[in-house]
Amino acid sequence: MPTPEADGVPGRRSSRFPVVDPATGETFDEAPDQQPAELDEVVARARRAWGGWRADQAARTSALLAAADAVDAAGDDLARLLTREQGKPLAESYAEVARTTARLRYFAELAPRTRRIDDGRPVRSEIRWRSLGPVAAIVPWNFPLQLAAAKFAPALAAGNTMVLKPSPFTPLATRLLGSLLATALPEDVLTVVTGREPLGARLAAHPGIRHVTFTGSVPTGRAVAGAAAASLARVTLELGGNDAAVLLDDVDVDGIADRLFWAAFRNCGQVCMAVKRVYVPARLHGEVVEALARRAKAVTVGPGLDPGTRLGPVNNAPQLARVEQITEQALAHGARAASGGHRLDGPGYFFAPTILTDVPPGSPVVTGEQFGPVLPVVPYGTLDEAVDAANGTGFGLGGSVWGTDLDRAEAVADRLECGTAWINHHAELSLHQPFAGVKDSGVGVAGGPWGLYGNLRPFVVHRPEEG
């Protein structure tokens, strides 16, 4: 039975829900199961905090820098808790904490620019930038801390206040992060709420929220856009991907195989911008499958807290079931597993790293988002066929082209319908760049100065010139 406990909003009592360690499949802790009714008070407090927070840019910069220091100081605790609830190897959790503080520091120092319009008229027109109010962030379970930071760092730097809801699969590290940030930020500037649905749906629909920034799957993104439409809140959606890697006929297979493998399998394939399908010239197909399968068989799979682990478990039972189902379906229709293809025996949500070949056309493991440690390798005849196939899904997050002639590779990359394209790399992002998916992969722009302006509205003042 859930135990009632005072939490979140003073005076309210929440029950709790279990949090499972994916390395064991066992519950190891609980988090407050906050109810939608609590959101009215949370949002009202965020609105009250907005008045002071938006007023002083310099104070915001200092507070956000101090917040980054507070997070750094607790890096060990945060990283261990993240691995415990998310499953990723500890070294990756440390890297995620580092990316979280890097985002805070980057946006802390970024301010919008006031601009004058000079169009020859005797009018002085000035574009200033204003914050929006309380905003809502809803994030998934694959990178709970850094994806939250990608939202709260620009939103708070812009002068907004925020209500942040992590996934119920990974609420604990975000709660700890929230309490660390609270040591440096004024009260109610950032509030973490945890709970199961319909908490997220009600947060997205809340009339006091002026911007809903969401990262997650395409179907949930559609639901969030619909919910926010009621109050006409701004919506930023960073959604699923099905990134293709197109290998060219001059590719150095041995030279790129490690990078390509980890571009697909990092975080157990649970990366929006993971390589989720590989297109290879027919002549090189066997060699590429062999190079990837060798790595898949050799990689150490285990609990993220074990020092030797390179690949942890899938994060949660429903996701493991999905990965298993999408793989079995391909195998049942003629695909072959050059490695893996099945769950691993024993406790926890482990799935053997899987390289699939002979995947039938139209198979969901190629056309959809597997979001797990499974990679189809598909042969192609002409380059046009490869580009058409790469562009032939509803997704458009990222893509990559791999070859020795960089000019030729870049010309192919230019034909990919996505937000970011890499050559001989994948999913390497800079804090300074815009991040935006096309087609079903997203709406709006995050990252870099674009991320800051995405949290602001223009305010234009016209006045006649003196004299």
**What is the distance between the alpha carbons of residues 181 and 177, in angstroms, rounded to a whole number?**
6
Among 89, 134, 200, 399, the residue binding ligand NAD under the rule CB under 6 A is 200
Please name the helix (run of DSSP H) or strand (run of DSSP E) that holds residue 110, with its range, or none. none
In angstroms, what is the minimal distance from the CB of 345 to ligand NAD? Answer: 25
Q: With CB under 6 A as the contact rule, which of the stretches 2-10, 213-221, 297-305, 399-407 interacts with ligand NAD?
A: 213-221
Compute how many other C-beta atoms are within 10 angstroms of the C-beta atom of residue 255: 12
Q: With CB under 6 A as the contact rule, which of the stretches 50-58, 155-163, 210-218, 378-386 interacts with ligand NAD?
A: 210-218
Considering the complex, state which of residue 142 and residue 160 has its C-beta at the smaller distance from ligand NAD: 142
* Residues 140-199, interacting with ligand NAD (CB under 6 A): 140-142, 147, 165, 167-168, 197
272 flagged as catalytic: yes
**What is the distance between the alpha carbons of residues 19 and 34, in angstroms, rounded to a whole number?**
14
Q: With CB under 6 A as the contact rule, which of the stretches 45-53, 67-75, 136-144, 182-190 interacts with ligand NAD?
A: 136-144
Among 8, 112, 216, 373, the residue binding ligand NAD under the rule CB under 6 A is 216
CA-nearest of 43, 42, 46 to 32 is 42
235 binds ligand NAD (CB under 6 A): no
In angstroms, what is the minimal distance from the CB of 55 to ligand NAD? Answer: 31
* Residues 387-416, interacting with ligand NAD (CB under 6 A): 397
Residue of 92, 268, 272, 418 marked active site: 272
Amino acid sitting at position 389: A
CA-nearest of 256, 229, 252, 243 to 393 is 243
Among 138, 181, 235, 355, the residue binding ligand NAD under the rule CB under 6 A is 138
CA-nearest of 296, 274, 269 to 353 is 296
**What is the distance between the alpha carbons of residues 366 and 381, in angstroms, rounded to a whole number?**
17
CB-based contacts of 125: which residues, under 8 Å, 6+ apart? 116, 117, 119, 460, 461, 462
238 flagged as catalytic: yes
Q: Tell me if 335 sits within 8 A of 376, measured CB to CB.
A: yes
Q: With CB under 6 A as the contact rule, which of the stretches 12-20, 54-62, 94-102, 133-141 interacts with ligand NAD?
A: 133-141
296 binds ligand NAD (CB under 6 A): no
Dihedral Cα 311, 312, 318, 324, nearest 10 deg: 40
Contact footprint for ligand NAD (CB under 6 A): 138-142, 147, 165, 167-168, 197, 200-201, 204, 215-217, 220, 223-224, 238-241, 272, 369, 371, 397, 437, 442
Point out the residues that are catalytic. Answer: 238, 272
